[in-house]
């Protein structure tokens, strides 16, 4: 774990290299800021010395000091501002770099990774974790540098002014650190427990409120309330403890501060009263400066301990992001990858083996020759693995063994881009991006003119409903097309294909949730598309199935039967069972 942390830290430093100049600048300004903040109390102390008593005030010297202080204030404030700006610049640019790297890698990750991870997890890495990382970095820059410098500077100045008092301060300060650390270690486990229980409660709320309709249908409100109250009580107990204990840090360190303050006042005053001759030069003004230092000396200690926790957190977050960035991308297209051009649409599967995980075999020794223009219907019960075939055709996944060929070319030897742009794919899980209708359609052909888009929409029977939308083709649809019906979304996806008309098609017929008229439009659009194109159809409709040249029957992830409708009926196997069952009661 410690090793990992170190590795991540190294990585962060490497990331910072680009901003070397800025880092030097921020260090420089931090130095000036600290020097200024420390110098000013000394001057104020000197002024206090010049205000001795009635008729004994040296105004001319005071004025000179005022001018010096004013200059100090100006320089310090300016460098403080510049330092913050540079810190912001470094932090926000580093996280920009990190986000860009992560996003670029997401584009190159194999779909296997994306399918296996929850979207929420990846999104939270790229958003929340990066933010947390930024917070840590920023705090590190602004408080760690200045904090350390302040401690060193204060200590040095105190030693110079009066080493005896400095010694007193040095002896007492560890107390403050000890107290802060003690409280932090106690509260850490409490906070962890609190967030665990909170997580449990959130999961419960998520489950029950997310399915409130079912809860109500089964009259489970009272049982749920009881369970909720139990969780709520537990949460209340631990969060009371964690909030209370963590809020002790401030009062406790403030108390230690008070002790330091009193000790400085005591030693300082006693020295002034007794020690004549003084072992060091000392006066009321210097005592005032020392008291001011004593007040600010312990603060950076507390801040630094806060920064350290924050940094640890940030490193953990950075680790999670780097994991994503380092995740192995798909093998890039080889240099001698062929570009598929003028595709006819012959697709061959030769001794194809495939499985998602080694321990569960799916497709075994699958062979099929699809001639250009043929229709292949894929049928089988839900969850039988029909999408697996699509994954293989599009090379979202690669076969574990055997080859898939398009026009005689092994698809693993052609560029992904040329392979995929020769397929038109309409999935049942339609996906639309947030943007205008036009942007969504022209996804397949960015250079398409408005006329082409409208022609495609007409051909896909989508034009009419698009014109009924508030801004027709310019209507902005929200993420995943929330305001369109399922059928309309599918028509839009078909329009995309109509626009670019690739030689091969992958179509996924909708099972349900589409009203009859839209359904018929989709059917007509599909028919128009399939004309003369090699088509793979995940089919639910008998008519589609019967018209197919080849039917592939799938079950449990494997292809169990293949042939034409008549052949399969004659076979009397799984397919004929499936076909006959819908006429039984």
Partner 1 sequence: MRKLLKYLNNYKLQSVLAPLFKLLEAAFELIVPLVVAAIIDNGINGGEGWRYILNACLVLVALGAVGLVSAVAAQYFAARAAVGFSKELRRDLFSKMQSLSYSEIDKLGTSGMITRMTSDVNQIQSGVNLVLRLFMRSPFIVFGAMIMAFLIDVLSGGVFALAITALCIVVFSIMLVSIPLYRRVQNRLDKVTTLTRETLTGARVLRAYCKEEEQIESYNKDNRQLTKAQNFVGKISSLMNPLTFAIINAAIIMLLYVGALKVDGGALTQGNVVALYNYMSQILIELIKLANLIITVTKSFACAGRVNEILEMKSSLESLPRGEKRESVPFIQFNGVCVNYGNSAVDALNEITFSAEKGQTLGIIGGTGAGKTTLVNTIPHFYGVRSGEVLIDGENVNAIGDEKLRDMCGIVPQKAVLFKGTIRENMQWGKNDAEDGEIMAAIETAQAADVISSKADGLDELVEQGGKNFSGGQRQRLTIARALVKKPEILILDDSASALDYATDANLRKSLKELDYKPTVFIVSQRTSSIRHADKIIVLDGGKMVGVGSHEQLLKECETYREIHYSQYEKEGA
Tell me whether strands 504-508 and 423-426 are parallel, antiparallel or unpaired.
Answer: parallel
Q: Count of CB atoms within 10 A of residue 108's CB? A: 13
Q: Does 396 bind partner 1 (CB under 8 A)?
A: yes
User: Would you say 90 and 23 are in contact if contact means Cβ atoms under 8 Å apart?
Assistant: yes
CB contact set of 406 (below 8 Å; sequence gap of 6+): 340, 343, 345, 346, 347, 414, 419, 422, 504
Phi/psi zone of residue 472: left (φ > 0), alpha (ψ -120 to 50 degrees), beta? Answer: left
Which residue's structure tokens are 């996924």? 508
CB contact set of 287 (below 8 Å; sequence gap of 6+): 45, 264, 265, 268, 269, 272
Q: Does 472 bind partner 1 (CB under 8 A)?
A: no
Q: Which of residues 215-234 bind partner 1 (CB under 8 A)?
A: 215-221, 224-225, 228-229, 232-233
Full DSSP string of 243-302: HHHHTTHHHHHHHHHHHHHHHHHHHHHHHHHT-SS-SS---HHHHHHHHHHHHHHHHHHH
Q: Which range, of 123-131, 362-370, 463-471, 561-569, touches partner 1 by CB under 8 A?
A: 123-131
Separation of CA 278 from chain center: 63
Task: Look at residues 347, 354, 346 and name the one whose alpha carbon lies nearest to residue 559.
Answer: 354
Q: Which of residues 541-560 bind partner 1 (CB under 8 A)?
A: 541-543, 546
Q: Does 60 bind partner 1 (CB under 8 A)?
A: no
Task: Tell me how far, at minimum, the Cβ of 203 lies from partner 1, in Å.
Answer: 6
Task: Tell me how far, at minimum, the Cβ of 368 lies from partner 1, in Å.
Answer: 22
Total residues at interface with partner 1 (CB under 8 A): 153
- Per CB under 8 A, the list member of 332, 383, 532, 572 interacting with partner 1 is 383
Site mask for partner 1 (CB under 8 A), range 187-216, x = bound = -----------x--xxx-xxxxxxxxxxxx
Q: Which of residues 431-460 bind partner 1 (CB under 8 A)?
A: 431, 433-434, 443-444, 446
Name the CA dihedral angle for 361, 367, 373, 374, rounded to a multiple of 10 degrees: -80
- Per CB under 8 A, the list member of 5, 93, 374, 472 interacting with partner 1 is 93
Q: Which of residues 241-270 bind partner 1 (CB under 8 A)?
A: 243-244, 247-248, 250-252, 254-255, 257-259, 261-263, 265-266, 269-270
Q: Which of residues 499-528 bind partner 1 (CB under 8 A)?
A: 511-520, 523
- Per CB under 8 A, the list member of 421, 436, 475, 576 interacting with partner 1 is 421
Q: Does 483 bind partner 1 (CB under 8 A)?
A: no
Given the complex with partner 1, which of 5 and 246 has the nearer CB atom? 246
Task: Tell me how far, at minimum, the Cβ of 64 lies from partner 1, in Å.
Answer: 13
Q: Does 357 bind partner 1 (CB under 8 A)?
A: no
Q: Does 468 bind partner 1 (CB under 8 A)?
A: no
Given the complex with partner 1, which of 482 and 532 has the nearer CB atom? 482
Q: Does 274 bind partner 1 (CB under 8 A)?
A: yes
Q: Which of residues 133-192 bind partner 1 (CB under 8 A)?
A: none
Distance CA 510, CA 565 (A): 21
Distance CA 103, CA 471 (A): 32
User: Would you say 402 and 351 are in contact if contact means Cβ atoms under 8 Å apart?
Assistant: yes
Task: Tell me how far, at minimum, the Cβ of 161 lies from partner 1, in Å.
Answer: 16
Q: Does 111 bind partner 1 (CB under 8 A)?
A: yes
Q: Does 47 bind partner 1 (CB under 8 A)?
A: yes
């Amino acid at each position: 774990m410690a090793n990992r942390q170190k590795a991540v830290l190294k990585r962060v430093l490497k990331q910072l290299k680009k901003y070397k100049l800025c880092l030097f600048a921020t260090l420089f300004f931090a130095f000036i800021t600290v020097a200024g903040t420390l110098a000013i109390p000394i001057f104020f102390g000197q002024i206090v010395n010049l205000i001795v008593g009635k008729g004994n005030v040296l105004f001319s010297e005071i004025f000179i000091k005022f001018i010096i202080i004013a200059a100090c204030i100006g320089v310090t404030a300016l460098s403080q501002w510049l330092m913050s700006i540079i810190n912001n610049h470094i932090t926000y640019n580093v996280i920009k770099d990190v986000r860009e790297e992560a996003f670029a890698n997401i584009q190159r990750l194999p779909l296997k990774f994306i399918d296996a991870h929850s979207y929420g997890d990846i999104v939270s890495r790229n958003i929340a974790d990066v933010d947390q990382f930024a917070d840590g970095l920023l705090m590190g820059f602004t408080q760690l540098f200045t904090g350390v410098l302040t401690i060193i500077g204060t200590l040095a100045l105190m030693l110079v002014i009066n080493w005896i008092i400095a010694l007193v301060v040095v002896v007492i300060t560890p107390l403050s650190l000890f107290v802060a650390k003690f409280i932090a270690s106690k509260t850490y486990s409490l906070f962890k427990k609190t967030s665990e229980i909170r997580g449990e409660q959130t999961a419960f709320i998520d489950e029950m409120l997310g399915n409130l309709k079912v809860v109500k249908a089964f009259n489970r409100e009272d049982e749920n309330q009881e369970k909720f109250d139990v969780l709520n009580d537990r949460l209340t107990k631990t969060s009371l403890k964690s909030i209370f204990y963590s809020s002790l840090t401030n009062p406790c360190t403030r108390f230690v501060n008070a002790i330091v303050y009193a000790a400085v006042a005591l030693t300082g005053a006693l020295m002034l009263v007794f020690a004549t001759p003084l072992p060091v030069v000392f006066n009321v003004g210097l005592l005032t400066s020392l008291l001011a230092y004593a007040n600010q000396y312990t603060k950076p200690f507390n801040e630094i301990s806060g920064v350290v926790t924050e940094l640890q957190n940030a490193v953990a977050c950075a680790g999670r992001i780097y994991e994503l960035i380092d995740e192995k991308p798909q093998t890039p297209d080889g240099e001698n990858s062929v570009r598929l051009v003028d595709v006819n649409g012959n697709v061959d599967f030769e001794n194809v083996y495939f499985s998602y995980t080694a321990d569960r075999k799916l497709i075994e020794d699958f062979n099929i020759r699809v001639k250009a223009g043929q229709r292949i219907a894929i049928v089988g019960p839900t969850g039988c693995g029909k999408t697996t075939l699509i994954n293989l055709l599009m090379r979202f996944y690669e076969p574990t063994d055997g080859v898939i060929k398009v026009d005689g070319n092994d698809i693993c030897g052609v560029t992904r881009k040329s392979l995929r742009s020769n397929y038109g794919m309409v999935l049942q899980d339609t996906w639309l991006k947030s943007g205008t209708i036009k942007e969504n359609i022209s996804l397949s052909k960015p250079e398409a003119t408005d006329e082409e888009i409208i022609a495609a929409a007409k051909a896909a029977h989508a034009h009419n409903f698009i014109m009924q939308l508030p801004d027709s083709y310019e209507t902005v649809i929200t993420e995943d097309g929330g305001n369109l019906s399922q059928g309309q979304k599918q028509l839009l996806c078909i329009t995309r294909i109509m626009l670019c008309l690739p030689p091969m098609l992958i179509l996924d017929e909708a099972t349900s949730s589409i009203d009859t008229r839209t359904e018929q439009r989709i059917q007509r659009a599909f028919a128009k598309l399939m004309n003369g194109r090699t088509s793979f159809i995940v089919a639910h409709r008998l008519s589609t199935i019967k018209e197919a040249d080849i039917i592939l029957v799938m079950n449990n992830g494997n292809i169990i039967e293949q042939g034409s409708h008549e052949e399969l009926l004659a076979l009397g196997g799984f397919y004929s069972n499936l076909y006959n069952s819908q006429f039984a009661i």
